[in-house]
Amino acid sequence: MRPRALDITLPDWLPPAVPWDRPHTTADDRMRLANHLADANVRHGTGGPFGAAVFDLTTHRPVAVGVNLVERAANAILHAEIVALIFAHATLGRYSLHAEDLPPHALTTSCEPCAMCLGALLWSGVRVLECGASREDAIRLGFDEGPVFPASYAYLEARGIRIVHGILRADAAAVLEAYRQRGGVIYNG
């Protein structure tokens, strides 16, 4: 029998760990949340060292969050960015976060997105991408980030998406290193 539904469930620790009603007015503040989620995912042993959040840029409050669920769900596409976007679309009941009646949204992620996540970002409708650790930081651990080039980011910027790299990079890279030190699985290498 083939499955008719897919259940994507966040770890139990996650929803209470998010200050849903608190505005995150700066990129550093938003990145602190993404890094906290990545770190907690490693500490709780619930997935890889990546965290992401979608923010309403008018209220500056989180709309949805995600952590890497690849191993936990045995699903290669459940990267933190994808999970955050899935839950943002479900929360708002919209397939695009760029609808005229919606405020602009940012995707804040603890590490520069892989090729798959960059593609999802484009179609999601977010207007801002905020990144912590670099692609090189993830590659040093052994993660394969796929075909991401300077032209990939230029394409997104030409489509109206503002991109900020290196926000609290050292903090984000420290989470990656903690994952390595714990013997975390490199699941796409």
Q: List the domain boundaries for the chain.
A: 39-179
pLDDT tens digits along 126-152: 999 999 999 999 999 999 899 999 999
How confident is the model at residue 143, as a pLDDT? 92
66-80: b (≥16 Cβ within 10 Å) or e: bbbbbbbbeeeebbb
Q: Which fold has domain 39-179?
A: Cytidine Deaminase; domain 2 (3.40.140)
How confident is the model at residue 31, as a pLDDT? 98
Low-confidence ranges of the chain (pLDDT < 50): none
Residue 81 annotated as catalytic: yes
How confident is the model at residue 189, as a pLDDT? 55
How confident is the model at residue 18, as a pLDDT? 98
How confident is the model at residue 92, as a pLDDT? 97
Output the pTM of the full model: 0.96
Catalytic residue among 71, 81, 112, 157: 81
How confident is the model at residue 2, as a pLDDT? 84
Percent of the chain clearing pLDDT 90 (strictly above): 92
CA dist 100 and 64 (Å) reads: 20
CA dist 166 and 111 (Å) reads: 9
